[in-house]
Structure 1
Amino acid sequence: MQMCTIRPSSQIVFSLHEFFMCKIGTLDFEVCGGCVLNEKQNYILRKPCSSLHRPKCDESTIRSFIERLVKVYHKPIITIRFSDPFRDVFAIELIRLLNNGPLRNVKYDICHSSPESYRTVFNEAATLDTLEIKLKRLLSFQSSPSVSLRLDHLQIRGSCHWIKLEDFMNCKSVTLNHFIKFDFKKIETERLNSFFKKLKESECRIEKFTYTVNSPVKMDRSIFSKIVEGLNDIHGSDSVEFIRRDQKKTRISWTEETLLMEPVY
């Protein structure tokens, strides 16, 4: 069976195309999305592939395939995306295998991850350009990365209440899509105000901060005023501008569901 074909000249299409796709020079792996995981830890496609009947891969095959493909390319740029039902411990194994080398971008969307797996993903992200991660609600869990993160872009979706915003002030762009089942005003207002005050007095790398909240209580002008209390050099009805210690001019604005911090040029 032919393993892959080049079609067109900038793209490689694999026989197991539901598992792996990439472009010449950039390897973009979407690992086993839309599969089912059986009791033997084989990943099986839900829908038949044009070249294979109900194809399946075990973790050893996936690991060997990725290792082999990475060696074919000269200094490849790798993006890898994990989603259910991929096992979190094997996802961590692949991240460690490819890290400190060609791995540049990770999208991690495995719902049944352990707290230790979440910690490891953040710690391994120190050498990445971008990280997108979805977090489940962990009531008693709090953690900070053991290394400083200097990502070009960090996106966190799901439950964000347990993270420390200050840990990500050296990421160039941070997006939080926060799902809150409780009252936004009581929980987040003081935390965001403290974060922005620390940011104003710091020399840090962050330029853009987007905070989108899915909550029964929407943002309004009174909530926004409490979030930006003590910051304003220039205060408008829907925005605040201030000068940071490093002389960067910054604006914070709001809508009912989004808080946006961005540079002013």
Structure 2
Amino acid sequence: MRSLFALALFASTIASTNIAFAQGAETSLSTSIDIPASTAPSAPAEGLTIDQIRAVVRDEIRKNPKLILDAVNAYSAEEQRNRETADRNTTLKNKDLITVSEGYPVFGNAEGKVSIFYFYDVNCTYCKKLEPDLARFVGDNPDVKLVLREMPILADSSHYAAQVGGVFAVLYPKEYPKFHSKLMAMNPGMKNNDIDRTVVEILGPVKGSELLGRALQVDDDELAKAVAGRVAATLETATKSKINGTPFVFVAGSNGMLRGAAATAYDDLGAMVRDARALAAK
């Protein structure tokens, strides 16, 4: 009763001071405001006039200003949870787009029974943090296929790397992991010249120059055009699916998702893959 009464009082004051809360905030407020017994009013809210309610609320807030902070924090937390739930639902609706693998580079077992889809940007700090866990996980799980869907959103060099890397992966698949690893080991903010230099270091000046010259011929070269189409498809998929940042990892079968680079990423992936295996075995 104290919580409900406090809510009524607080809501009235909010209205009188033109502080607007979105519809639905009442639930958060009623569960987060805890009026100490020693200060809680004993009169029922129904027996007070609006002016009396406002006076009591103002007095209560003076005694315990943390009430406002608690209410705002609870409302913000609920809104965040609602956004996360909505984003997840939108992501799941688009999982057929997320799990397209044809033409994209693959690490691990190309015929693996469990497919993991990795959306990343070569300039993303958190992607670079996640990379060691991903590499270790793929190495420890020989039935896993990791599909790399490069999502260049952070810099012009990100898009350049995705285009060059896509062509590289098709022409020199055995050398591509080395190219990927070198870029992901660089600090964020790489330049196009850094990417060019990496290509030449791995392939040599002749093959490297040929690849770089071909990669950007998106109007005339069929491979370059196909790679550009895959990069565009990944960006479109991310927009439709509420993949709002990198890294993002999706485990097909279990519908498991990782957003960001948590310290528990390796274990979280393990749980999602175990679920995917169990579902596939049924």
| Common topology (TM > 0.5) | no
TM tier, smaller? under 0.3
Higher strand share goes to which structure?
Answer: 1
The answer to which structure, 1 or 2, has the higher relative contact order (CA under 8 A, 6+ apart) is 2
Higher helix share goes to which structure?
Answer: 2
User: What TM-score comes out, normalization by structure 2 length?
Assistant: 0.25
User: What TM-score comes out, normalization by structure 1 length?
Assistant: 0.26
